Structure formats: structure tokens, C-alpha cells
Structure 1
Amino acid sequence: MTWFLLAVGLLIGGYFIYGTFVEKVFGIKPERTTPAHTLTDGVDYVPMSKRKVYLVQLLNIAGVGPIFGPILGAMYGPAAMVWIVIGCIFAGAVHDYFSGMLSVRNGGASVPNLAGRYLGNNAKHFMNIFALVLLVLVGVVFVSAPAGLLVKLSGWDKTLLLTIIFGYYLIATLVPVDKIIGRLYPFFGALLLFMSVGLTIAIMVSADYSMLPGVTAGDLLTNLNPADKPLWPALFITIACGAISGFHATQSPLMARCMENEKNGRFVFYGAMIGEGIIALIWCALALSFFHGVEGLQAALANGGPSNVVFEASTGLLGALGGVLAILGVVVLPITSGDTAFRSARLILAEFIKLPQKQLPKRLMIAVPLFAIGAILTQVDFGVIWRYFGFANQSTAVIMLWTAAAYLARANRLHWICTVPATFMTTVVITFILNNPTLGFGLSMTVSTAAGVVLALVIAGLVVGIIGKKPLPADIESLESA
């Protein structure tokens, strides 16, 4: 239990200490009017309170990623928790803060437009493709996962459940952001709180289980995977949400369009990521504790994947009724992220083709084809979709981190807070795609890692040494000096 409480304490401390430092580097201006007020349209630009914006942001970003990812990552042992803590504080929360605050400074712009502004048009076009692919994959993953859990609870036909969830997504994607998302999410937040706190307390007071028994300092740095799978770089792809996730960069602009003051940014963006990190820690620790180590977890995963782990742990710790409520809390997470994934995809595509979204028929013109593609992809094996999602997710995070690094360098600020995690994650994704025999090129780990390091350093030199020397765009320069 000591290691778990220490990890949670480090995340909370990271919010107050490193989060405050990141905020100072960015340089908030509370007196500046935000896009929620200057561009109010009653659909996507709608001023909302700090508390509500935080809650919506947390539910937007916390899909099945901070549950399924840490469960799968727990197969490597407690080392997964080290990555969650370090990745969340120094990479994920920084990534989320800049994706949100740069959007605020750029009129609520989406991540492809931000990449275009600070890295150039080639980056914009590349990011448009990656972001759209990622968001559709997220939408599919966040339809299939809750449908699978609901099948276990209700026994209903999975196709029927997929149709119901897709129907909700379509409605939530089209209506003004404050009509469904802004009103229902507080209730969903209560379920999320019950799931996270309830399961943690249950295992701590249980006579049959204990939180991370027998874990030593050495275990935190050791790969305990029973199948002897290498920790590098797979762990950093497997655990995305909860440590660092490019999906969040597509979600932060949604709340950047609703945030009333720049001083709320650390709480909303950095703070929501810390909250997701705590959720990830809970499920990583639960997976190791409830099944008594990686061997027991391996057997549970073989019997139905992460969904089975959630089902067994929830019902085993909280009984039938409590287990149902906990599972519903888990179901809520992907559903509240899936609808905003499609919403983000609609807005990014609308920006790209310059189609205003205030009128419902124009929103339908983009939303319907996106949902049709998503429906087709639900027929593909979930494991295949998850692997592609993981790679696309971390690649999107890399581009967003380089965008933030370029912004800081061009503004003559401490770019290293973004350059260091960007370089590390670039090495991760390049090594992964070069080494992976299924998705990539199947090269040896030595060659893949060496190429990853070299290419990451080359990109760092390009962003900081060349792009970073350019002045900021004229309109942003005037905003920064105002």
C-alpha cells in the first residue's frame, strides 16, 4: 500500500509544484478575454464554470485508456506505475496544458491548426490526417469497449448495444456542447468517483486482498512480464492515457472554447491529466493486487481481456450491486470520450474544409460520413484496432509536444519542458514502428532503438535550432506583448 499512496502523493505534488512552474513558463494573462466570450456561438463556444469545464475535460480524456492501458501495462509489474507517475507529471500533463492553452491563445483552434501555426503547413496537413484517423479509431474503441462490458451485465445483443451507443454519439456530437455534455457529465462524474474511490477503499479494507503486497524498490525498475516481453518500447505505447496521450490534444480545444479565464488553465488541463493519472494508478494497482501478481493477471486477461479484469475485480470487491455501479463508472468513461472524439473529428474536418458548423444541416454533412466509417470499423478485431490506436495516439502526442516546443522556442521561453518529453516520445514511436513485426518493419531492437534516438535528435535540432529561431506569427506576437 505504501508504494501506491506514495505514487498518488507524487502526482498531487506534481500538480502543485511542476504544474505551477509550467504555468509560469507559459505566462497566463487573466485579464485577456477568452474565445468563450469573444466567439460565443451557442454551439461549441459556450462559457462554462471552471468546475464544470474541469469535469467535462476529465471525462472527455478519460476513456478506456486509463483503465485498459494500465491493466495491460501491469503485465510488466509495478514498473508500469513508475511510468504513469513520471510520464503524467513531466509529459502528459504538460502536453495537455499546452494543447489547451495554445488553443485558447489561438481562438479555440484545433491541434492541426496549432501545428500549422508553429511548425509549418506540412505539419498541419500531417496532423490533420493523424488526428482524424486517431479520432475515428478512438470512437470505434470507445464504442466496442463499453458495449462489451454491457453485454456482460445485461446479456443483450452486442449489435443492439453498438447501435444504441452510436445513436447517442450522433446526438451528442450535433447538439450544443452545454445541452447534453454540460448537463449529464456531473452525474457521470459521480459514477466515476464511486468507481475510483470505492474500489480503492474496498481492496484496502478487504480481508482477502491487499494493495500491492510484497512490492520492493527493486520491483519498480524490473520487467516482471511472465511472457518475457520486452518493456522497451512497448510499455510506453501500451500505457498512453494515464501517462501521455495524443487523444487529449484533440479534446483540450473543446474546453478551450468554453473556459472563462486563462487562470483556470492549470486546474482544467494540467489538473485533469493528474486526475486521469490517479485513475490509471488505481487500475494498475488493482490489476496486480486483485489477481495476486502478473501470473494471475495473465490468466484473467486470457479469459476475456481487460473487460474481464474490470468485471471480475469490480464484482469481486464490491459485490453484485456495487460491482454493477463500478462497471457502469467504467462504461461511462469511454462513452463520455467517444462522443467528444467524434465531435472533435467533426470540428477538425470542418476547419479543414472551412464549413461553418452553426447550422445543423452542415454539422450533419460531416458527422454522418464519419459515423458510417466508424460503424464499419467496429467489425474489425478489437485487438487490431487497439494496436493501431496506440501508435496513432502516441504519434499525435509527439506532434503536439513539438508544436509546444516550437512555440516556446519562438517566444524565447524555456522550451526544454516540452523538448525533453518530445524527444523521448519521438524515440518511443520510431523505435516501436521500426521494431514491431505486425504494424511496422520488424527490424531488430538494437537497430530500431539506435534509429529512434538519432531521428529524435535530428527532429529536435530542426524544431529548436531552425523553426525555433523564427519569430512568432504577427498576430500571436501582438497577443504575447499585449
Structure 2
Amino acid sequence: MALLLIAISIIVFLIAYVTYGSWLAKKWGLDYTRRTPAHTMGDGVDYVPAKAPVLLGHHFASIAGAGPIVGPISAAMFGWVPVFLWIVVGSIFLGGVHDFASLFASVRHDSKSIGNVIEDTIGDTGKKLFNMFAWVTLLLVIAAFANIVANSFVGVPSVATTSLLFITLAILFGFATNRMGIGLLPATIVGVILLFASVWVGVQFPIVASFNTWYAFILVYIFVASVTPVWILLQPRDYLNSFLLYAMIGGAVIGLLFYRPDIALPAVTSFKVGTSYMFPILFVTVACGAISGFHSLISSGTSSKQIDSEKDIKLIGYGSMLIEGVLAVVALITAAYIGADRMTELLAAGGPTNVFADGVGTFMTTIGIDLALGKSFVALAVSAFALTSLDSGTRIGRFIFQEFFDKGEVQATGATKLLTNRYFATLVTVAVGGWLGATGYAKVWPVFGSANQLLAALALLASAAWLKKAGKAHNMIKIPMVFMFAVTLTALVFLVRANLAAGNYALVIFGSVLFVLALVLIKLSYKILFTKEVVQPKEAK
């Protein structure tokens, strides 16, 4: 049965990419001859055109952190059928559309954030509200992922060694392909060989240091990664890292072909499990792998500034989401094939990522890979992608901070000039995120699931409003948008009610603010989305 699930998902996703993805591209009017901002606004730092395989590697590595692994395993309490259906349907009709539209809308708005798309359609107030919310959400990402990566470096020192070697290798790869004229194919072959050699070196020569040492190092690293040109570090590191994830997914799928595990998890358990209801908790828990607001920030933050041609938008936006859907299905299978006792044991020993590593490692034993080595490789891959999401999130936080204070064509002087400086914007983002992670991000982290999915609803709202005003088809976005607002607003009501009873007033306030923010933006956009009036926005000429 497990083999059937992975086969169905891969086949359905391929069909969706060829049919629905192409239909979306046609309906939205992608122009393959139009010059993208990576060329018209190229600055050698943020706006740098990238070849499609390189950008696919960056984008996929940035969106596919631990989310598509943790979510499906955590939601398995409702049974494998609802989780599987949400992954497949969500990836095709919600997440894929969300990522595709966010990337396309950003490219058509000088590759700026979704906040600028909102400004163009809803107004400056909407932009400021969205950017504040997005920046705070990214602070939570920085706080959490910095802790996760630092803990992984302490718990598995080989991960630290491998990560440092990745960074060095990425810099060499970037110079080789962008400044020394070495072709992408030969550089990739050598780079991938050295990549896996780095994994081996990491296992042989682990670097041991304290949590505080690694935490400080990570904050310094993400500052540097945020301000340096993307071709030096971000592009090549994420591109090479993506081969780790491809190898992990490939090894898992091939291992499944030979292992052929049965499904031990019930198809459906109950609509209510403990205090959690399937609606809305399933749709908030399984974010990456179905739909995730964080993806819109990656799409409109770093990826849109590297799009070489609009013909690449479908592959990067829609294709990456479908690949992530495959990863989410693999994660679900690692939880579904084991019994409840084994599941409890693995969760207690290391959480959902331990369940995933044990499952994938077990599957790969059928192709001659030792279980311990397989589990170690999977753990290294997951940790590497957590770091990738961290440095991408920091860079996007810097973009949003700069855009919030950007006065456009008005000459920036004094305080405005300082606030839009990339070094200062990065310093503030890293400092606040780092402080939050060091002093108590866990107090507000439980609201992140709802915040992330609300971000997805807002990104869908922005894309739908822009397409409507541009006279383009948008109903395929409006329906997912309504569903995601229903999910997130219901989840926020549950969250506020539960924490009010528990006396956790910080979460009560945070959840209430998010709820009000959503209502304000819905009100501001209602006339645009639900009337027949069509007003051409600035971009649509």
C-alpha cells in the first residue's frame, strides 16, 4: 500500500505539472520574451539572473526545510487518508498555485515582496500591515531555526563540520561558475562529488563546541549571507544542497520499491483527537507539503530576483511545490508503516525528524546502505536544509525591512537612508531574531502554524487582487484563498480560546492581533475581489 501511495502521488503530480501548471501559465499570460527584473535591475548583489537548474536548487532548498517532514508525521494522528489527500490536493490546487502566483506577481512588480503587490492593488496601508506581519513571522523563523541548527551542531557534531565545508565549497563553486567561466555541468559534477565527500569528512572529523558558540556563529553567518551577492554563497550553496535532498528522496523512493512496507496506521482515526479537531488543525499542521505562507516570502524575496526568463516561473514556483509534495508523502509513509509503540518510541527519542530518519534509513537498507549510515545521512540533509531556510529567511527579512521604509522615488536622506541600508536592515533583523531565540521564542512559537497559514491566505489575496485588476483569470486563486482564511481564522479562535483558559496572555494577544489584521485586509480588498470593476494596476500596461 505504501508503494502505491508514492506511485500515485508522483504520477498525479507529473500530470498536474504538465496540464494544470501549463493552463495556469496560459491563463495568466506569462511572456517568455519579456525581460525580467534580474536583467533590467541587475545589481550583482540581489538581482542576479540564474540558470533554471541553479534557481530550482535554491528555491527548493529554501522551501523544503523540516516543514514537509514534521507536518505530515505530526498530523498522522488523524489517519493516513486525510493527510495524504490534503498533501496531494493541497500541493496541486493550493500550494502550487500559491507559489506560482506569488513568484509571478513579484516578477511583474520589480521582484519586490508581496507587500508591494498589495500596495499596488489595495493601498499603502495594506502593504504596511502585511510587511509588519511578514517581518515578525520571519523573526520567529530566525529564532526557531537558529536554535534548531545550533542544537543539531551540538547533538551531531559531524553536521557542523559538513555545514562549514558546504559553505566553503559553495563559495568556490560560485566563483568557478560566475567568474572563472567554468560550465555548469562540469562544475556540478565536481561539486556534487565534493559535496558527498564533505558528508564523509564530517562523520570522520566532527567539530565539538558549545551551544552558545554555535548560536553566535550562526547569527554572524546569516548576517554575512544576507548582505553578500547571491552568486557568491546563496545560489551555489542552495543549488549544491538540493542534490542532498534529491538523493534523500531518490533513496527513499527506490528503497520503498524493494522494502514494500505495509501501512499500520489506521486510514482514519477520528475527527477529534484529544483536544484537536481535524478541521482546522490538519490544514494548519501540514503546511509545507501542501501550502505554506513562508513559500510566498521565498518566491517574492530571493527567487523572483534571480528569474532569468518568465518561462522558468512554472518550474520554479509550481514544480518545486510538487516535488515537496513527494517529500511530504515519503514523510507520511515513514509514520504510517510503523506501529503505535514504535512511533511513540521514536518521537520520544528525537521528534518527527527522528521518525523520518529511521524510516528512510530503513528503506535504504534494501539497496545496500547500512541503517546507521542511512539515518546519519538523512539527519545531515535535514539539518543542512534547516540552515538553508534560515539564511534565506534572514535575507528576505532584510528585504521587507528595507521596503517598509522605502519612499520610492523620493530622495532618501537621514533616517530613511539608514533604515533602507542593507547592512543596517540586516543587523536589526538578525539582532531581534537572535534575541527572541535566546530569550523565549518558545512562548509565542505555538502560534506560528496559524500565522504561517494566514500568511498564505494573505499572499493568495494579494495575487488574486492583482490578477483581477490586471484583467486576468483569478478564480483559481480566490477559491483556495477563501478556504485558507476559513482555516486560519478558525484556528486562531481555537488558539485564543485555549490560551485564554490557560492564562497564556502573550499568545492571546498575538493571536487576536493576527485575527484583526486578517479582517482589516479582507475588508480593504473586498471591493476589488468581489465587484465587476476592473482598474488596470501600474504594472499592466
Same-fold call, TM cutoff 0.5: yes
Alignment of 1:166 with 2:230, yes or no, is no
Alignment of 1:248 with 2:295, yes or no, is yes
Structure 1 residue corresponding to 2:405, chosen from 353, 370, 374? 353
- Give the Cα–Cα distance (whole angstroms) in 2 for the partners of residues 378 and 211 of structure 1: 39
On the 8 A contact 2:62/2:388 being kept in 1, the answer is yes
- Give the Cα–Cα distance (whole angstroms) in 2 for the partners of residues 280 and 100 of structure 1: 22
Deviations 1:45-103 (A, max 9, x none): 01111111111111111121111122212222212111111111111111111111111
Q: Report how far residue 108 of structure 1 moved.
A: 0.9
Corresponding residue for residue 110 of structure 1: 113
Q: Report how far residue 26 of structure 1 moved.
A: 0.8
Q: Report how far residue 272 of structure 1 moved.
A: 1.0
Instruction: Say what the alpha-carbon RMSD is for the aligned residues.
Output: 3.1
Structure 2 residue corresponding to 1:51, chosen from 50, 53, 57? 53
Corresponding residue for residue 319 of structure 2: 271
SS state of the match for residue 308, structure 2? Answer: coil
Alignment of 1:378 with 2:429, yes or no, is no
Structure 2 residue corresponding to 1:424, chosen from 483, 495, 498? 483
Deviations 1:216-240 (A, max 9, x none): 8xx2x65487647321101111111
For 1:139, the aligned partner's letter is: I
Corresponding residue for residue 166 of structure 2: none
Q: Report how far residue 149 of structure 1 moved.
A: 3.2
On the 8 A contact 2:79/2:265 being kept in 1, the answer is no
Corresponding residue for residue 258 of structure 1: 306
* Distance change >3 Å, CA 419–CA 283, structure 1 → 2: same
For 1:335, the aligned partner's letter is: L
Deviations 1:15-38 (A, max 9, x none): 111111111111111111110110
Corresponding residue for residue 64 of structure 1: 66
- Give the Cα–Cα distance (whole angstroms) in 1 for the partners of residues 528 and 55 of structure 2: 32
Structure 1 residue corresponding to 2:374, chosen from 291, 301, 322? 322
* Distance change >3 Å, CA 230–CA 380, structure 1 → 2: farther
SS state of the match for residue 477, structure 1? Answer: coil
Corresponding residue for residue 213 of structure 1: 263
On the 8 A contact 2:106/2:304 being kept in 1, the answer is yes
Corresponding residue for residue 408 of structure 1: 467
Structure 1 residue corresponding to 2:383, chosen from 323, 327, 331? 331
For 2:304, the aligned partner's letter is: A
Alignment of 1:301 with 2:347, yes or no, is yes
- Give the Cα–Cα distance (whole angstroms) in 2 for the partners of residues 430 and 440 of structure 1: 15
* Distance change >3 Å, CA 461–CA 107, structure 1 → 2: closer
On the 8 A contact 1:43/1:358 being kept in 2, the answer is no
Report how many residues are paired: 460
- Give the Cα–Cα distance (whole angstroms) in 1 for the partners of residues 50 and 239 of structure 2: 13
Correspondence list, 1:148-227, <5 A? 148-154=151-157, 156-206=209-259, 210-213=260-263, 219=267, 223=270, 227=274
- Give the Cα–Cα distance (whole angstroms) in 2 for the partners of residues 40 and 461 of structure 1: 36
SS state of the match for residue 156, structure 2? Answer: helix
Corresponding residue for residue 139 of structure 1: 142
SS state of the match for residue 278, structure 2? Answer: coil
- Give the Cα–Cα distance (whole angstroms) in 2 for the partners of residues 114 and 352 of structure 1: 13
On the 8 A contact 2:142/2:433 being kept in 1, the answer is yes
Q: Report how far residue 167 of structure 1 moved.
A: 2.6
* Distance change >3 Å, CA 423–CA 414, structure 1 → 2: same
TM-score by length of 2: 0.78
Corresponding residue for residue 433 of structure 1: 492
Corresponding residue for residue 185 of structure 2: none
* Distance change >3 Å, CA 314–CA 384, structure 1 → 2: farther
- Give the Cα–Cα distance (whole angstroms) in 2 for the partners of residues 400 and 251 of structure 1: 12
On the 8 A contact 1:314/1:324 being kept in 2, the answer is no
Q: Identify the range of structure 1 (90-99 vs 224-233) with the bigger mean alpha-carbon deviation.
A: 224-233
Structure 1 residue corresponding to 2:101, chosen from 84, 94, 98? 98
Q: Identify the range of structure 1 (130-139 vs 144-153) with the bigger mean alpha-carbon deviation.
A: 144-153
Deviations 1:110-133 (A, max 9, x none): 111111112222221110111101
For 2:434, the aligned partner's letter is: A
* Distance change >3 Å, CA 148–CA 211, structure 1 → 2: farther
- Give the Cα–Cα distance (whole angstroms) in 2 for the partners of residues 407 and 462 of structure 1: 13
- Give the Cα–Cα distance (whole angstroms) in 2 for the partners of residues 314 and 358 of structure 1: 50
* Distance change >3 Å, CA 127–CA 178, structure 1 → 2: same
Deviations 1:216-273 (A, max 9, x none): 8xx2x65487647321101111111111111111111211111111111101111111
**Aligned-residue identity in percent:** 30
Corresponding residue for residue 390 of structure 1: 449
Deviations 1:455-475 (A, max 9, x none): 89x868544224x624022x3
SS state of the match for residue 436, structure 1? Answer: helix
- Give the Cα–Cα distance (whole angstroms) in 1 for the partners of residues 306 and 360 of structure 2: 35
Q: Report how far residue 135 of structure 1 moved.
A: 1.2
Q: Report how far residue 327 of structure 1 moved.
A: 1.1
Corresponding residue for residue 7 of structure 2: 5
Alignment of 1:26 with 2:34, yes or no, is no
Corresponding residue for residue 285 of structure 1: 333
On the 8 A contact 1:149/1:307 being kept in 2, the answer is no
Structure 1 residue corresponding to 2:396, chosen from 344, 368, 372? 344
- Give the Cα–Cα distance (whole angstroms) in 2 for the partners of residues 149 and 40 of structure 1: 37
On the 8 A contact 1:346/1:367 being kept in 2, the answer is yes
TM-score by length of 1: 0.87
**Which consecutive unaligned segments of at least 5 residues does structure 2 have?**
158-207, 364-369, 502-514
* Distance change >3 Å, CA 82–CA 222, structure 1 → 2: farther
Q: Report how far residue 306 of structure 1 moved.
A: 2.3
- Give the Cα–Cα distance (whole angstroms) in 1 for the partners of residues 449 and 423 of structure 2: 29
Q: Report how far residue 404 of structure 1 moved.
A: 1.4
Q: Report how far residue 275 of structure 1 moved.
A: 1.3
On the 8 A contact 1:4/1:212 being kept in 2, the answer is no
**Which consecutive unaligned segments of at least 5 residues does structure 1 have?**
443-450
On the 8 A contact 1:141/1:385 being kept in 2, the answer is no
